Amino acid sequence: RALRLAGGRSQCEGRVEMEQEGAWGTVCDDDWDLADANVVCRQLQCGWATRVHGGGAFGRGSGPILRDEVGCEGHEEHLWDCPAALEHDCSHKEDAGVVCSEHQEWQLSGGRDACAGRVEVFFRGTWSTVCDSTWYELEASVLCRTLGCGEPLRRPSFGHTLPGRMLYQCEGQQPSLDRCLWTYNKSAPCHQSQAAGVVCNGTGH
């Protein structure tokens, strides 16, 4: 048996899919809640659940619907250890999904549009700023591309006004910043830094 998240922006976000007897299938969103989602996140080494989704939020899956009315208490080691109905009255438009704490997503705030402003990252259930100590053309380029915003034009600095701090160091053109080296809430590398910003040349989707 195996478990994965599909249709999300990282391996720690998406539609819950289980493998059973060689076939991948989905889980129905009836009674799908944080306790169930926490078991999924922990099993995938993705931390804990920050958001729970139903209604095929990450797209409709395919294959069998393997579980319905999942009733985890939250301490189970695997999703298949939880009580659940094996018979279901669901369709794939009710596929369950989850966002785990180790998933990272980004936004630019305070700029002229969604492609300019201060860099903010949602991680472990909270929004944080990014230290500009290692915020160079490469890091800015990775983010602009991830956001569908083209390439960076400028890298303005802002103040840190959010509780958390993230630091990124990319060594090449990665698909997203979480594939670069990153450290979270380590004070030394962020000492005397400002909050990173970027103005990309696109205007987003």
pLDDT in tens, 74-121: 999 999 999 999 888 899 999 999 999 999 999 999 999 999 999 999
Task: Answer yes or no: do 135 and 168 share one domain.
Answer: yes
pLDDT at 195 over 90: yes
What is the rounded end-to-end Cα distance, in angstroms, of the chain? 38
Residue 187 belongs to some domain of the structure: yes
Residue 205 belongs to some domain of the structure: no
- Pairing state between β 126-130 and 164-169: parallel
Task: Answer yes or no: do 108 and 96 share one domain.
Answer: no
Residue ending a domain, among 56, 78, 100, is 100
Task: Answer yes or no: do 6 and 96 share one domain.
Answer: yes
**Residue 165: count of CB within 10 angstroms of its CB:** 21
The dihedral through the CA atoms of 112, 114, 115, 117 has a sign that is positive
Nearest alpha carbon to residue 193 among 155, 170, 174, 167 = 167
Q: What's the predicted TM-score (pTM) here?
A: 0.86
Nearest alpha carbon to residue 56 among 75, 35, 32 = 32
Burial degree of 183 (CB within 10 A; 0-12, 13-18, 19+): middle
- Rounded alpha-carbon distances, angstroms, from residue 187 to 62, 72, 107, 155, 167: 45, 38, 23, 22, 10
Q: Which domain holds residue 13?
A: 2-100
Domain CATH number, residue 128: 3.10.250.10
pLDDT at 36 over 90: yes
Task: Answer yes or no: do 63 and 153 share one domain.
Answer: no
Question: How many domains are there within the chain?
Answer: 2
Residue ending a domain, among 100, 128, 162, is 100
Output the average pLDDT for the chain.
Answer: 95
Task: Answer yes or no: do 68 and 116 share one domain.
Answer: no
Can you name the residues that pair with 24 across neighbouring β-strands?
19
Task: Answer yes or no: do 32 and 118 share one domain.
Answer: no
Residue ending a domain, among 100, 115, 145, is 100
Task: Answer yes or no: do 50 and 115 share one domain.
Answer: no
